[in-house]
Structure 1
Amino acid sequence: MFALMQSAHVESLHLSVDPVTGLKAVIAIHSSRLGPALGGCRYLAYPSDESALNDAVRLAQDMSYKAALAGLAFGGGQAVIVRAAHVESRASLFEAFGRCVEQLAGRYITAIDSGTSTADMDCVAQHTRHVTSTTHAGDPSPHAAMGVFAGIRSSASWRLGSDNLEGLRVAVQGLGKVGYALAEQLHAAGAELLVSDTDPGKVRLAMEQLGAHPVACEALLSTPCDILAPCGLGGVLNWHSVAQLRCAAVAGCANNQLTNLQVADQLERRGILYAPDYVINSGGLIYLALTHEGAQPEAINLQLRRISQRLAGIYAHAQAEKRSPARVSDELAQSLLYPAAEGMG
């Protein structure tokens, strides 16, 4: 555990159990140098406690990088609640989690993520004020999709010569809250949609409402398209899957898309432009952070529009140095988080 913390430069790990509600939670605080740690709370079934811990640590690091590059006065954190086969009371479970968050006295601010909802955050809010994306604060998913859409346009402009998405084939892997909202925006822009999801109902809805073409989950990555948008869980890009890709760019909302940085180098060698996930999908965090600070919608939308400019700058830097945008963005984030440190890559 300590080796994992040191390798990811995590400040602290907090493990909590509550036998009454069945709560098993991990809260990882990666960095508080720029401000209190802000990050989502996942509620998923994990194959092992170790995998839950690893997920929390990797996502917390991504939140730090995301906040730093977006210029937010927040650090990065992440909570993971291990989902059991049966829970007596979901509301009581999240109230217990709220008490755990309160014990950290503001060092960590929680929010919705995969498997959680604004209703869950309302339960958390009964025991702590260090929570956002409640019913009152609003769901960040539409804003995350807006940011990814802007990033896809920037990626198309850089790789294909135009930010006009009309007629482009975009493969959307995963039709959750953000993925479906992104598909709606792509459809409105005239893109041809290829979609996959483990839920057949979501695929049917995309077919009916957006004219999307269904593709089997196991076949989507090898299907010819202009842009692949991973919008499910992480780890989709590995040595095997990247070898199958038939696209010009990868730009999606999923966190932790790369299994490691060597895969980013593989994408670079294949001539496939990669949009660093924590840059292109930062719209949700931007919304959470600025809403928590009481910002007006105009200020939030201005920050969302800057995502495309931020990506363009990373692409230019990467092209000049003939390196992967993933390595460039990591180094830029690390320079903000560890200004006096060397050899953090």
Structure 2
Amino acid sequence: MTDVGAAPGVERTARPGALETLFHSDQGGHEEVLLCQDRTTGLKAVIALHSTALGPALGGTRFHAYAGEARPEEAALRDALNLARGMSYKNALAGLPHGGGKAVIIGDPDRIKTEELLLAYGRFVDGLGGRYVTACDVGTYVGDMDVVARTCRWTTGRSPEAGGAGDSSVLTAFGVYQGMRAGAAHRWGSPELTGRTVGVAGVGKVGHLLTGLLVEAGARVLVTDVRPGAVAQVLAAHPQVTAVPTTEALITAEGLDIYAPCALGGALSDTTVPLLTADIVCGAANNQLSRPGVAKDLAERGILYAPDYVVNSGGVIQVADELHGFDFARAKAKAAKIYETALEIFGHAAAEGVPPAVAADRIAERRMAQAANAERAYA
């Protein structure tokens, strides 16, 4: 664990059990982990850098309380390690010149988030000298990144007024749509979604935008959400959409062609997979597989799974582009390549006789290994 030198009045501490989690868990192998604490503002945070083989680590800042955990700090560390590793794979398959990193600020953002705390957090990120670039995640927003950017130049996901790209949900939804088109092309021989029935579970920002793209494409769309207001907004914008009461009603719907989980992780589980009527699963939610073996279960049922970290990478493509002076057309063109990447993964999976999730992991690992080997050879 590396201490890169704290700002005045700021401490960096390691808690008992942190080294064991880092070096002996199945989410180990990270290059660098910082445990950060600022007593003045109450900041406690974990910054995890999984890999910088392809370039500076890029990933969002999560602000979460871990209220149900016996040891919130340990839970935050495990979460940061897992999320950082996932970002390495996501960035590699998105073709970005970035490795994977993630940060977690521990605490209830509604209670402890202050401008001073975010500024202190920015000083920690800035102290990494560009090895980690941060952005928004659960519990943090564009306005928060504007504050962090005041003490850290390695911040993206800022507002247009602050020179950033703003909300990244537009390209996230667009990328998932491209993944669906690739799934349709692989499964049915055509990327066209006209006349296909697509079920979207979770119609927040991304799910709502995805629904609009599907309606424009001529698909029949079913939606569900635990928040009635979110469903009402979709129906107001797209009255031809059909609302269903629960996720179970959605995934068991007769004639469902594509299931798009766009809410919480773990949507694909031992409970839900046997019930699925869809031929394809392609959605925006992170960490959709409740356990690794679920990918095999889907394949055995003949269901084509588009790995979530591949198809939901439009958002990170957008925030990465912001680092070079944001150009929406340029970022959208990069996000459109998710279609080709997904097709490549489906092809490798079929040729190698493995689930697409395994094929995607292998491709990402090869790219990171090749970059690391090239760096060592150059050195």
TM norm structure 2? 0.84
**1:34 Cα deviation after fit:** 1.2
Contact 2:179 2:338 in 1 (8 A): yes
Which residue pairs with 2:22 in the alignment?
Answer: 5
Cα separation, 2, equivalents of 1:27 and 1:305? 30
**1:100 Cα deviation after fit:** 2.1
SS at match of 1:171: strand
2:252 is aligned with 1:222: yes
Structure whose alpha-carbon radius of gyration is higher = 2
1:105 pairs with one of 122, 129, 134 = 129
Which residue pairs with 1:319 in the alignment?
Answer: 350
Which residue pairs with 1:76 in the alignment?
Answer: 100
SS at match of 1:236: coil
Which residue pairs with 1:235 in the alignment?
Answer: 266
One-letter amino acid of the structure 1 residue matched with residue 32 of structure 2: S
**1:61 Cα deviation after fit:** 1.1
**1:289 Cα deviation after fit:** 1.3
Cα separation, 1, equivalents of 2:346 and 2:49? 29
One-letter amino acid of the structure 1 residue matched with residue 209 of structure 2: A
**1:85 Cα deviation after fit:** 7.2
Which residue pairs with 1:42 in the alignment?
Answer: 62
Identity value in percent:
43
Cα separation, 2, equivalents of 1:200 and 1:95? 36
SS at match of 1:63: helix
Cα separation, 1, equivalents of 2:58 and 2:305? 25
Deviations 1:58-95 (A, max 9, x none): 22111111111222111101112233275255333322
One-letter amino acid of the structure 1 residue matched with residue 216 of structure 2: A
One-letter amino acid of the structure 1 residue matched with residue 128 of structure 2: L
Segment of structure 1 superposing worse, 176-185 or 249-258: 176-185
Segment of structure 1 superposing worse, 278-287 or 219-228: 219-228
SS at match of 2:218: coil
2:53 is aligned with 1:33: yes
One-letter amino acid of the structure 1 residue matched with residue 311 of structure 2: I
Cα separation, 1, equivalents of 2:111 and 2:280? 42
2:228 is aligned with 1:200: yes
Which residue pairs with 2:336 in the alignment?
Answer: 305
Contact 1:26 1:80 in 2 (8 A): yes
Cα separation, 2, equivalents of 1:85 and 1:129? 23
Cα separation, 2, equivalents of 1:85 and 1:114? 10
**1:3 Cα deviation after fit:** 5.0
**1:274 Cα deviation after fit:** 0.5
2:124 is aligned with 1:90: no
2:158 is aligned with 1:134: yes
Cα separation, 1, equivalents of 2:51 and 2:109? 33
Contact 1:30 1:76 in 2 (8 A): yes
**1:23 Cα deviation after fit:** 2.6
Contact 1:315 1:325 in 2 (8 A): yes
2:78 is aligned with 1:54: yes
Contact 1:170 1:194 in 2 (8 A): yes
Cα separation, 2, equivalents of 1:333 and 1:122? 31
SS at match of 2:178: helix
- When the two chains are superposed, the root-mean-square deviation of aligned CA atoms in Å is 2.0
Deviations 1:294-316 (A, max 9, x none): 36444322211211011111111
Deviations 1:175-208 (A, max 9, x none): 2222221112112212222222232211111122
One-letter amino acid of the structure 1 residue matched with residue 300 of structure 2: R
Contact 1:166 1:191 in 2 (8 A): yes
2:306 is aligned with 1:279: no
2:181 is aligned with 1:153: yes
Cα separation, 1, equivalents of 2:116 and 2:38? 10
Cα separation, 2, equivalents of 1:215 and 1:4? 42
The gaps in structure 2 that reach 5 residues or longer are: 1-17, 374-379
Cα separation, 1, equivalents of 2:209 and 2:34? 33
Which residue pairs with 1:190 in the alignment?
Answer: 218
2:37 pairs with one of 1, 4, 17 = 17
> For the structure 1 residues 243 and 2, does the alpha-carbon distance in structure 2 shift closer, same or farther, using more than 3 Å as the test?
farther
